[in-house]
Amino acid sequence: MEFTKMNGLGNDFIIVSGEKQLPEKASDLAIKVCNRYFGIGADGLVYILPSQKADFMMRIINSDGSEAEQCGNAIRCVAKYVYDQGLTNKTEISIETIGAGAQKVWLNVNQGKVNTVKVDMGEPILQGKQVPTTIDQDVVVNYPIEVEGRQFHFTAVSMGNPHCVIYVDDAVNFDLATWGPKLEKHPLFPNKINVEFVSIRDTSFMDMRVWERGAGPTLACGTGACATVVASVLNEKSDRNATVSLKGGDLFIEWNEEDNHVYMTGPAEEVYRGKLL
């Protein structure tokens, strides 16, 4: 199997192209190849597949073998891959995901290679049952949640995959490893959830650290950054255009008031290519 190792702000993926459909044992393969000691090492295994709705389709298998509905960092990597590898010569393409449908993507090309990628991440889903949570409310904002005697307050947002955004005093030094997995599997979240811990610097800049469902702590999460800005607007903590600073770098997020879509802009990088024996 030939592969390309790529990352978006350190959120890293094994990219595979050329398959006609998702292999039957993709889950088992992802667990094997994403292992950082006995495999290639990555947060997920991404297949680029044909699409009847868009220019390309991507399917993302997390490092634990579960499938992600959507991934903002992965879609930027896929966009860079298809252009840099000559699979398209267009700088505006569409990529289909199972969670958010066909998404428009704009490529910023410099000297024949993609530098940054802007993605239309679609409209945020805010209804509690649709995120999904077990909470039957139109919007779940600043909702209390208790785990092992500690109470947090979260805002629920889906960007094609579920997120709960929690504000803390210091996201950079927050104990992610202790609280992330407990919140991910909380009974309020029937499909488990991605957890973002956020601290606001000002109305246009915030720090975020993420515990990703099925992958654990990652250096960045594009859908999580989008969910964070949406939640911050709903909590009257930020503007609709803001920079989210993650451990791997920064993403610029716009929640457009006219079409209600969220737009994400950030980099993608190729690290190396190889062949799995």
Give catalytic residues, as residue numbers. 71, 221
Alpha carbon 79 to its chain's center: 14
Q: List CB contacts of 50: < 8 A, sequence separation 6 or more.
A: 20, 56, 57
Q: Are strands 269-275 and 2-8 parallel, antiparallel or unpaired?
A: antiparallel
- Residue (of 124, 21, 26, 16) closest to 70 by Cα position: 124
> Which runs of E-coded beta strand occur in 126-240?
143-147, 150-158, 162-167, 194-202, 205-212, 216-218
From residue 142, alpha-carbon distances to 56, 111, 124, 172, 220 in Å are 37, 46, 17, 21, 23
* Whether 192 contacts 203, CB under 8 Å: no
Residues paired with 269 in a beta bridge = 7
